[in-house]
Amino acid sequence: MLAVMLMAACTKMDHAYAPYLENGEQLYPGVPYQLETHAGRERVEVQFTQSKDPNIIRYILYWNNGQKKMEVSPDKQNAVMKVIVPGLAEGDYTFDIVSVYKAGNTSTPKSAIVSGQALGSRFESELFIRKIQASNSRKGFALQYFESDATSKYTDVTYKDAGGIMRQKRLTSTTALFDTLADIHPSAVSLVFRTAYVPLKCIDTFYAEATVPVHPASGSFVCTGTMIDYTSASLTGPYPWNVTLRQTGARTLELVDEDQTHDVFHKILSGGSPSYYGSFGLVFTTDGENNVTGVVNKYGQPASNGRSAELDPSGINKYDPVAKVLQVKYWMNQPGSTHRTLFDETMTMK
């Protein structure tokens, strides 16, 4: 009984190895090891440590279920080989590396398999520029760069200088910091940012680019002027008043009170003490020539308390990009279209 079982076991083993013994005993080349891949732009770098078998004359890389292949000769100078597989559509790939002898003997298929990824336009379209905030100042356009991850290698900003020449400035640090474009054109309305990324274990650089509209009147100001509340003589202007004109659109700016509320409200003095008009905050609209063409109440036209904003056309109502001064005259209406408070203000950039 034991002899029968042994014979049966041997028969099964013979069947398992039969495909490799059809033409007699064969020698099989050693296989590469320590396989890894590095993603690239429509290509993949396949890296492996070569077999120490000295009789190998080439390696064949197969992918797409063996429908595609690439042959390379061994690197006699280095133990580690790096092979670039080009012309790949964006997506995932599995590579089968086969060693070959001069006589044609090959290593057993699927004994050296590694997966990789080719990147392309789809991946690049999902990238974003580094987070940045831009505002004007006396010294030039201030750029606040927020911290970025380690795959971000640098960010370029392209802008027009005071002489009308296009300039480019590169920031390589990934930590949060401030920078100033001191030579920017005073009437610049946009900045172009381009952030370069090299993903982990990637051999190529990918980019995110965006044109960011900027308003020459966005920045910090000292506001002076006059205010007349026709319903109460005890309510007077808060001047000098620290404010920020914060850009909310390509040609819109909201007025932020930096002294008291630190929000979009108009500060006032009530009997000499700091206060503010509730549900009343200003949003200015300008045109391409930096004329103030309109003003509205952020909280509604009118807000729930009946307050609205209206531009007074008798004012200068213009931002001077060279002097960096905004002059504007407007009303707070309440109720309806009744002019309650008149403001005539000059905002000088810090």
Taking only the tens place, the pLDDT of each residue in 132-165 is 999 999 999 999 999 999 999 999 999 999 999 9
Q: In the beta sheet, which residues pair with residue 47? A: 36, 82
94 or 3, which is more confident?
94
pLDDT band at 107 (very low <50, low <70, confident <90, very high): very high
Residue 297 has pLDDT above 70, yes or no: yes
* Structural domains present in the chain: 24-119 (2.60.40.10), 127-213 (2.60.40.10), 219-349 (2.40.128)
CA–CA separation, 281 and 293 (whole Å): 17
- Contact of 274 with 259, CB cutoff 8 Å: yes
Supply the pLDDT for residue 22: 54
User: CB within 8 A of 167, min separation 6: which ones?
Assistant: 158, 159, 160, 161, 183
Q: Which residue has the tokens 């004012």?
A: 315
Residue 292 has pLDDT above 70, yes or no: yes
Nearest 5 degrees, angle CA 304-CA 306-CA 308? Answer: 105
pLDDT > 70 in the chain, percent: 93
24 secondary structure, DSSP code: S
Mean pLDDT of the chain: 93
Question: In degrees rounded to 5, what are phi and psi of residue 155?
Answer: -130, 130
For 27, 62, 112, 134, 214, the CA distances from 31, given in Å and listed in that order, are: 12, 14, 7, 56, 59
> Residues 12-23: what's their mean pLDDT?
48
- Contact of 220 with 137, CB cutoff 8 Å: yes
Residue 13 has pLDDT above 90, yes or no: no
DSSP string, 87-138: SPPSEEEEEEEEEEETTS-BPPTTSSEEEEEEE-HHHHHT--PPPEEEEB-T
Task: Name the pTM for this structure.
Answer: 0.80
Residue 19 has pLDDT above 60, yes or no: no
Supply the pLDDT for residue 16: 45
